[in-house]
Amino acid sequence: MPDTASLGATESSPLLENLLEQVENPPPKSGGSSQNGSANDPESNLQTEDAEDPELVQGRKNVKSVLPVLGVGIFLAFLDQSIIATINGEIGSDLHALKSVSWIGTAYFLTMSASQPLYGKLSDVFGRKPCLLFAYTMFAVGSLGCGVAKSIEGLIAARAIQGIGGGGMLIVVTVLLSDFIPLRERGTYQGYLNLIGAVGSTSGGPIGGLFIQSIGWRWAFLIQVLICLIAIVAVGLLLHLPKRQSETPWRKQLPRIDFLGALLLVLAISGLLFGLDRGSNVSWRSPLTIASLCATVPLSIAFLGVETRLAVEPFTPGHVIFDKALFACYTQNFLGYAAFTALIIYLPLFFQVILEMTPVRAGASLVPAAVSAVVGTLLGGMILKRTGRFYWLAVLASTAATLGTMPLVAAPSLDGGSLASIYIGSVISFVPQGITVTASLIAIISNVSAVDQAVATACSFLFRSLGAAVGVCLVGVLIQNVLRMRLHASLEPEEADRILGGITQSLEFIKELPPSLRATVRECYSAGIQAGFAMCLALLVVATLSVFWWREKKFSR
């Protein structure tokens, strides 16, 4: 991928402008001859251009020096996701809406997936720094809303606002690295940010559990507000980027941004998930359930129409999405993230309901999965750098991840829930999944032209986030349905409905039941969670099959 930093990128320069320039006027190779016959050294060219553009040199030095500040957003995004996995059961119990906890994650992932592709173009118009500050502000506002929410509906709305901020915190920092860090150094700096994200991911579970057992789950959100405020001040004072006035006024650039496509996508997916959730928890014959499910079809058609005919610059262009090899990559991204995000979200519920763990211990029990995913990502990068090939690595890793999920599926049926089976499954499934994620990104980049690399990568993140939202919701719906059926099969209808009503309100209800009845309820809940884990396994089987349609292209190393 071309080094945009060495091509004169500034804070407000379009992401693809310099990329197009280089494709149309490729630079001469080292030791070769240019069009006028003179030899050129890329390194000396870079030094010459840097010498002529002191603002760019200063901007690069500034981005490197404030990398810890930029890493705050990465840390928060990963910390928040792992904290939510630990505290969502407690939130549902406290707000008397345990049946709706899946939407705590779903709302976040939906808005994050829609906003991520837009941030790149918005930062072209308004500049990287203002967009990063906007993302921090939205995340802070959403976190504050979560911390003071009085109802599950209010909290879900606040999570949607948080997702808008979370998408920007991840994307804008990545864009900044592409703008100012030379390609030869970018892997090192991206590695630093990956390490920061890993710290956030592994620490979120224990921190969330600690908050629950000490000062309450609300402070898990409120503390993020404080961190965001510190980051806003630090970015405002310390991040200095070269500015360039665009020849095109921002009012004329905004219509090129695909806001309508993003909105229609969120509405279509939300309508589907809301209808499935409401049908499972309320009634499939409810007018609202039917209307939500039916609205999904015209909204999806409208989205496709906008992307193929109306959008000036669609964030899901057809030639990038529907290319056979790329579509297979996106399918794996979607299904893989659907499965593994659902596992991360519902494993703490299994720990607390079935194994009767404290929130702190339940959060700590997520660490093996989080660490394994990070190890897999780094290991995948090392293998790819050495071999230069990704196809068979992805096939083997995806197969191993699928097989590794089997101990997780079997755990609820084993004596005592078998924590050992959970830990074993976490390691042998999340490590290869991390490898597959790394390989998928290389597969996407190697199968598109230089001009399409940025949008193809953005589509990868889009499918991952959408997969996470859909997976969390669908697995939650299945767990609730199996729980309901098992309770009705084990108890009298009136007693089953009474207990089901209590369970869907609070986890504490289970602890208050008589011992024999409590054992029956836990057995039914265990069956529901096992069915949810089995769905994750089924999703991974299809994800693995899609890898066979990837197209191998050896890349230079």
Predicted pLDDT of residue 555: 56
Helix (H) or strand (E) run with residue 116 in it = helix 102-126
Query: Is-above-0.85 flag for pTM?
Result: no
Predicted pLDDT of residue 139: 94
Q: And the tokens for 517?
A: 């009845």
User: Does the pLDDT value for residue 59 go beyond 70?
Assistant: no
Q: How far apart are CA 146 and CA 523, in angstroms?
A: 32
- Residue 39's φ and ψ, nearest 5 degrees, are -75, 150
Q: How far apart are CA 115 and CA 540, in angstroms?
A: 26
For 553, the 3-state DSSP assignment is: coil
User: Using one digit for the tens of pLDDT, what is the confidence trace for 358-415?
Assistant: 878 888 888 888 888 888 888 887 888 788 788 999 999 999 999 999 999 998 888 7
Averaged pLDDT for residues 89-113: 84
Predicted pLDDT of residue 20: 34
Residues 6+ apart with CB under 8 A from 50: 56, 57
Could you give the angle at which helices 102-126 and 152-180 cross, rounded to 10 degrees?
40
Sign of CA dihedral 172, 178, 184, 185: negative
Predicted pLDDT of residue 56: 61
Predicted pLDDT of residue 539: 96
Sign of CA dihedral 478, 89, 218, 462: negative
Q: And the tokens for 363?
A: 């959060």
Region class of 246: left (phi > 0), else alpha (psi between -120 and 50), else beta: beta
* Helical ranges in 181-286 per DSSP H: 183-213, 218-238, 250-253, 259-281
User: Using one digit for the tens of pLDDT, what is the confidence trace for 191-213?
Assistant: 677 778 778 777 777 888 888 87
User: Using one digit for the tens of pLDDT, what is the confidence trace for 515-549?
Assistant: 888 888 888 889 999 999 999 999 999 999 999 99
Q: Could you count the other beta carbons within 10 Å of the beta carbon of residue 193?
A: 19
Choose among 229, 243, 547: nearest CA to 391: 547
* Helical ranges in 388-418 per DSSP H: 391-404, 406-410
For 15, the 3-state DSSP assignment is: coil
Looking at domain 323-557, what is its CATH homologous superfamily? MFS general substrate transporter like domains (1.20.1250.20)
Determine the topology of domain 60-242 in CATH.
Growth Hormone; Chain: A; (1.20.1250)
Count Cβ atoms within 10 A of the Cβ of residue 111 and give its class: 0-12 exposed, 13-18 middle, 19 or more buried. buried
Per mean pLDDT, which of 52-61, 75-84, 391-400, 498-507 is the most reliable? Answer: 391-400
User: Does the pLDDT value for residue 45 go beyond 60?
Assistant: no
Averaged pLDDT for residues 289-317: 87
Average pLDDT score, the chain: 80
Predicted pLDDT of residue 250: 67
User: Based on C-alpha coordinates, what's the Rg of the chain?
Assistant: 24
Q: How far apart are CA 506 and CA 334, in angstroms?
A: 31
Predicted pLDDT of residue 187: 56
Predicted pLDDT of residue 302: 92
Higher-confidence residue of 196 and 339: namely 339
Q: How far apart are CA 11 and CA 282, in angstroms?
A: 50
User: Does the pLDDT value for residue 557 go beyond 50?
Assistant: no
Residues 6+ apart with CB under 8 A from 237: none
Residues 6+ apart with CB under 8 A from 250: 125, 126
Q: Could you count the other beta carbons within 10 Å of the beta carbon of residue 328?
A: 21
Q: Are 372 and 426 in contact (CB under 8 A)?
A: yes
Q: How far apart are CA 253 and CA 294, in angstroms?
A: 35
Higher-confidence residue of 177 and 75: namely 75
Least confident range from 96-105, 177-186, 354-363: namely 177-186
